Amino acid sequence: MIMQSKHNVTQRLRVRSQLVWELAADSGDAIPFRLIELLTAVQTHGSLLTAAKSCDTSYRHAWGLVQQAQDALGVPLLEMARGKGARLTPLGEKLVWANRRIKARIGPLLETLASEIETELRHALQAVGAPLRLHASHGFAVEMLVRTLSAAGMAIDLKYRSSQDAVAALHAGECDLAGFHVPLGEFQSTIAASYAEHFDRHEQRVIHIVTRRQGLMVVRGNPRKIYEIADLGRPEVRFVNRQPGSGTRLLLDKLLQKAGVSPLQVHGYEQAELTHAAVAAFIASGMADVGLGIETAARRFDLDFLPLQTERYFFLVRRATLDHPALQSMIAALQSAEFRHDIGQLPGYDGAQSGAILSVDEAFPELAAPH
């Protein structure tokens, strides 16, 4: 983990986490992470020379890294032909996908840890101003928002957790903002009701962040011919799930119930990942055929996507917190044309209403008490 700060303690400290791993052969020789980065670049560019340049190293050094690793592993990592560039062997492909899966699974945990350490350092140095505490279901819009605010110098104490845990944390006073998502349409009322015990119609407000598409993420070309939720019950289909309490798992259970499929019929129902990206990486690595997730994750891992639902992602907040200067700055960022444009570049996302503030009854009229 790399920590960078100014000497003046009134400056905000930023903790930057960097995930580095290495592979060791039986001989004890270590395969450096630098090689994984190089192989990733070869996969992108189709050329070792171009990959070396993108990694800011010489062709000679890059070829030396490849040869050293191949000698240690006893199998080739690249296939090279004059005039045809370079491509990864099956083992080379697996190493690249392993790195993407590790980042997808551990990256959000490192972001949470980095945020917690920032907060503790800030307290130790008696830095001015308490950070906004955000507990949220992981999503690409949340990532983008936190990056935007951090670049503007705003302190955010971020913790990724399931939607249900985040909403419960706000109710218990453990955070200032809780990120959760609810599908539009037939399942909105039942899934919104699962959060209702933590809602306070008078003292809380809902901030609209984005709408986004949820659907089935399947291997490119869809070799298993998976087209609907009912197909998850076929014995040959391998599924990967999200963790209990996540909004995506709540949606899956409703979809399975509607299709008449028992979770016991779904091969892999208990295999859970913590983020959409981790689910996509699991599928892309060949360990599952399908998962339920958002379109952006599918596209980033070169998977096919079959849309099923549109959902809204919200921040739940206490009404009194809306006057907090930091929250006012966050809302301004959400409502900015630049942020809404950037959100629109994420596949399946729509930021047209980002930053809109609603009452609980306005967001979920089906939960409103009868007059």
Whether the CB-CB separation of 269 and 85 falls below 8 Å is answered with no
Report residue 18: phi and psi, to 5°. Answer: -135, 120
Distance, CA of 212 to CA of 201 (rounded, Å): 25
Centre a 10 Å sphere on the Cβ of residue 113 and count the other Cβ atoms it contains.
15
Burial class (CB in 10 A: 0-12, 13-18, 19+), 8: exposed
Please report, for the chain, the start and end positions of each structural domain, with discontinuous segments joined by +.
Answer: 34-127, 132-367
Report the phi/psi class of residue 133: left, alpha or beta, with left for phi > 0 and alpha for psi in -120 to 50.
beta
What kind of fold does domain 132-367 have according to CATH? D-Maltodextrin-Binding Protein; domain 2 (3.40.190)
pTM of the model: 0.74
- For the domain spanning 34-127, the CATH number is 1.10.10.10
The type of residue at 200 is D
Per-residue pLDDT of the chain (371 residues; tens, 9 = 90+): 333 333 333 455 666 667 777 777 666 677 788 888 889 898 888 888 898 899 988 988 888 888 888 888 888 889 887 766 888 898 888 888 888 888 777 777 777 677 667 666 665 555 445 688 999 998 999 999 999 998 888 888 899 999 999 999 999 999 999 999 999 999 999 999 999 999 999 999 999 999 999 999 999 999 999 999 999 999 999 999 999 989 999 999 999 999 999 999 999 999 999 899 999 999 998 899 999 999 999 999 999 999 999 999 999 999 999 998 999 999 999 999 999 999 999 999 999 999 999 999 999 998 876 54
